[in-house]
Structure 1
Amino acid sequence: MPLDAAAHVRLARPSSDLRAAERFWVDGLGLSVLYRHEADGTPGRHSLLMVGWPQGSWHLELTHDPAAPTDPQPTPEDLLVLYLGEPVPDSLVERLEAHGGKRVPAHNPYWDTWGVTVRDPDGYLLVLSSRDWSNSVS
């Protein structure tokens, strides 16, 4: 298969607490658990949680190595932006907050104008944008 626009994208990053991450991404945002693996104590084996939409072209992989945990170290520019193409529902933000998220001001004020920024339990930032997006050249 050639590398083209149909290629699936995996975003991978560490998590300090996969259960808390699952509550946020699945119960809060509404993604599905696509795959889960619990480490069995074998050195180098990671626990992981893959979440996304079953028919999506991307998924988020969250990993945790219980033998040698990697602390997440997100920066203010580490964003996962979801373009909703409509106003961000207050009920969605409230659900994310009820499941471990925290609404925060964006580092770049552009995102405060065009959406809502929520910090996940590992400190990474999810932006729910009211704008829409297309990679197509107009």
Structure 2
Amino acid sequence: MAAVPTLRVARPTVDIKGLLPFYRDGLGLEVLHQFADHSGFDGLMLGREGAPYHFEFTTAHGHPAGRAPTQDNLLIFYLPDHEEWQAAVDRMEAAGFPAVPSFNPYWDQHGRTFEDPDGYRVVIQNAAWNV
């Protein structure tokens, strides 16, 4: 049986500290690792211990990152259990992140979309991932 690869989604930001409440307090992710001034970069990794994915946000000293290029740059979390989904939506709103209308109306049918301080969006979808 093949091993499941670990997925790291990495992207730059100008404000790591500004993203922390969105991903930690809103999405409920854990800080897995932080680093400062590693070859001119500061970084933060968030995820869930043992999960096959995590997110890395980096700031390169002296290089502005900019905002999301479109409103359709999405990370999607599929939560098929309605109570778990509602708890995730409630946690985002309690952390101060209201849902925004999705660029693609499909995501509003069974999910809620939230925008991080850099303009990137996360959908919490109340459905199973059926591929």
Distance 1:72 1:81, change over 3 A: same
Greater fraction helix: 2
Quote how far apart the aligned CAs of 1:102 are.
3.6
Matches within 5 A, 1:112-131: 112-131=108-127
Give CA deviations for 1:15-60 in whole Å, capped at 9, x if unaligned. Answer: 22111211111122110111111227xxx52111110011110111
* Local SS of the residue matching 2:99: strand
Query: In the alignment, what sits opposite 1:70?
Result: 65
Match of 1:59 among 54, 58, 62: 54
Count of residue correspondences? 128
Distance in 2, matches of 1:20 and 1:130, equals: 27
Matches within 5 A, 1:1-138: 6-39=4-37, 45-87=40-82, 88-89=85-86, 91-99=87-95, 101-135=97-131
* Local SS of the residue matching 1:103: coil
Quote how far apart the aligned CAs of 1:69 are.
2.2
* Local SS of the residue matching 2:89: helix
Q: Are 1:13 and 1:72, in contact at CA under 8 Å, matched by a contact in 2?
A: no
Distance 1:46 1:100, change over 3 A: farther
TM-score when scaled to structure 1?
Answer: 0.82
Letter in 1 for 2:7: V
Any stretches of 5+ residues in structure 1 without a counterpart?
A: none
TM-score when scaled to structure 2?
Answer: 0.86
RMSD (CA atoms): 1.9
Identity of aligned residues (%): 38
